[in-house]
């Protein structure tokens, strides 16, 4: 298994910017948040092994919410379990509900039973640390800070944040993408894809109507920005004197080489993110139905820990052919989507099987006005690829 993604929704470049440019108290909070995230990463947990094997394969959700009471001991005091009444604490209820909505999305859209496909229990801790500026997946559980209240609101309310973090858990049990360089950026990419798809699913939004933003609503009004990332227009999510400017590229020619942030995992994910956006909007309709299914199959069946952007492009192309047929609209849209970000599919994957008419694929025109392309949606086998 590859390295575990210890992911925080607020990427380190934003916190570093606040730690340099903010006032004294904001600087302190940002630096403390950075230090805590670094501590998680340093732990090198053998968590995937710790978390499994699952106790009971079951379709029942098993959520437990804990309260750290502003300390950093995990998991904290248990405050709400599956099926128990609402708490008086909004953060507790939000954490419970966003986790529930995420699990429900994966179950209904992809027949996936929790993170490991086998009904793994799901734990989340709220009120972690003092004004902690992040939501974190540490390989075992979700962790929510309260935010500093100045630049960040509390992180429990946004379903795309919960779904992003929980998708890191799914990646851990499937492709186990190494959290470094391109495979790390793919790890971030899949977390963003299923983060926004969970949001679109719960809001019943089509690709054309969705905002394609990750983490909308976690900045306070003080921040000049809409969200942490934009899949529609990477590099435009925020531009703020204290937080800095969204550094995400949308094309391979702007691929960002850095040693920070595990080789820019939160930066270069903009490239595959935008490819996904292109595919989903070319096809129109509900993005989780067709594009989401292609990406889900690539993640759970085809990719491996060292996969690159090229591998992901080839895998989604192959998945689209398997699910919808060669030369189908989804198959062609995948080709066009990757091409838009500067990635050409491998010769070998194009040559495989019946010859695809590349000319026809390149001439593929999207349906007007975000209308839906008519495709047969195949049924998934229950627990495809998973043995509990
Ligand atoms: Zn992440």
Q: What is the pLDDT of residues 350-374, one digit of tens each?
A: 877 544 444 444 444 544 444 445 5
Q: In this structure, are residues 15 and 152 in contact, taking their beta carbons and an 8 Å threshold?
A: no
Report CA(189)–ligand 1 centroid distance (Å): 8
What pTM was estimated for this model as a whole? 0.89
Q: Answer yes or no: is pLDDT of 244 > 60.
A: yes
Domains of the chain by start residue, with CATH: 7-186 (3.10.170.10), 229-370 (1.10.390.10)
Q: What does the pLDDT average to over 307-318?
A: 98
What is the tens place of the pLDDT at every residue in 179-209?
Answer: 999 999 999 999 999 999 999 999 999 999 9
Decide: 24 and 55 in contact? Cβ < 8 Å. no
Q: Which pLDDT belongs to residue 386?
A: 53
CA 265 to centroid of ligand 1, rounded, Å: 9
Would you place residue 261 in the very low, low, confident or very high pLDDT band (cuts 50, 70, 90)?
A: very high
How far does the centroid of ligand 1 lie from the alpha carbon of residue 351, in Å? Answer: 34
What pLDDT shows up at residue 354? 46
CA of 167 to the centre of ligand 1 (A): 8
Contact 235, 248 (CB under 8 A): yes
Mean pLDDT across 53-59? 49
The 10s digit of each residue's pLDDT in 95-137 is: 999 999 999 999 999 999 999 999 999 999 999 999 999 999 9
**Contact of 268 with 255, CB cutoff 8 Å:** yes
Question: What are phi and psi for residue 219, nearest 5 degrees?
Answer: -80, 150
Cβ atoms of 285 and 206 closer than 8 Å? yes
Report CA(345)–ligand 1 centroid distance (Å). 26
Residues annotated catalytic, as ranges: 165, 266
- pLDDT 10s digits, 6-30: 888 899 999 999 999 999 999 999 9
Cα of 7 from ligand 1 centre, angstroms: 4
- pLDDT at res. 204: 96
Closest CA to 248 of 4, 8, 13: 13
pLDDT value of position 52: 44
Check: CB of residue 223 under 8 Å from CB of residue 213.
no
Predicted pLDDT at 356 = 45
Enumerate long-range contacts of 259-263, CB under 8 Å, 24 or more apart.
260/12, 260/13, 261/11, 261/12, 261/13, 262/179, 262/180, 262/181, 262/184, 263/180, 263/181, 263/182, 263/184, 263/185
Query: pLDDT value at position 3?
Result: 63
Distance between Cα 239 and ligand 1 center (Å) = 20
């Amino acid at each position: 298994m590859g390295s575990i993604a210890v992911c925080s929704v607020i990427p380190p470049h934003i916190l570093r910017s606040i730690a340099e440019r903010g006032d004294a108290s904001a600087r302190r909070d940002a630096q403390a948040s950075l230090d805590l995230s670094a501590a998680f990463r340093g732990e090198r947990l053998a968590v995937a092994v710790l978390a499994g094997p699952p106790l009971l394969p079951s379709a029942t959700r098993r959520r437990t919410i804990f309260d750290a009471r502003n300390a950093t001991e995990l998991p904290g005091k248990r405050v709400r379990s599956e099926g128990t009444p609402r708490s008086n604490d909004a953060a507790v209820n939000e954490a419970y509900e966003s986790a529930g909505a995420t699990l429900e999305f994966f179950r209904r859209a992809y027949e996936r039973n929790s993170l490991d496909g086998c009904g793994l229990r799901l734990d989340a801790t709220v009120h972690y640390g003092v004004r902690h500026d992040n939501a974190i997946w540490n390989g075992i559980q979700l962790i929510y800070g309260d935010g500093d209240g100045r630049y960040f609101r509390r992180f429990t309310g946004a379903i795309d944040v919960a779904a992003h973090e929980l998708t890191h858990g799914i990646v851990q049990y499937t492709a186990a993408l190494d959290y470094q360089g391109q495979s790390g950026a793919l790890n971030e990419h899949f977390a963003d894809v299923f983060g926004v798809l969970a949001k679109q699913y719960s809001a019943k939004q089509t690709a054309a109507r969705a905002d394609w933003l990750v983490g909308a609503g976690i900045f306070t009004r003080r921040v000049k920005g809409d969200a942490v990332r934009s899949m529609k227009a990477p590099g435009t999510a925020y531009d703020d004197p204290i937080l800095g400017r969204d550094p995400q590229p949308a094309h391979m020619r702007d691929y960002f080489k850095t040693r920070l942030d595990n080789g820019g995992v939160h930066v270069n994910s903009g490239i595959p993110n935008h490819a996904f956006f292109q595919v989903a909007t070319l096809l129109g309709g509900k993005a989780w139905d067709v594009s989401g299914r292609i990406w889900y199959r690539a993640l759970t069946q085809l990719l491996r820990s060292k996969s690159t952007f090229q591998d992901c492009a080839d895998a989604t192309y192959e998945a689209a052919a398997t699910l919808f047929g060669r030369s189908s609209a989804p198959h062609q849209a995948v080709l066009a989507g990757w091409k838009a970000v500067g990635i050409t599919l491998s010769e070998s994957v194009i040559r495989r099987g019946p010859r695809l008419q590349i000319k026809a694929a390149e001439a593929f025109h999207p349906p007007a006005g975000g209308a839906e392309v008519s495709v047969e949606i195949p049924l998934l086998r229950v627990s495809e690829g998973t043995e509990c």
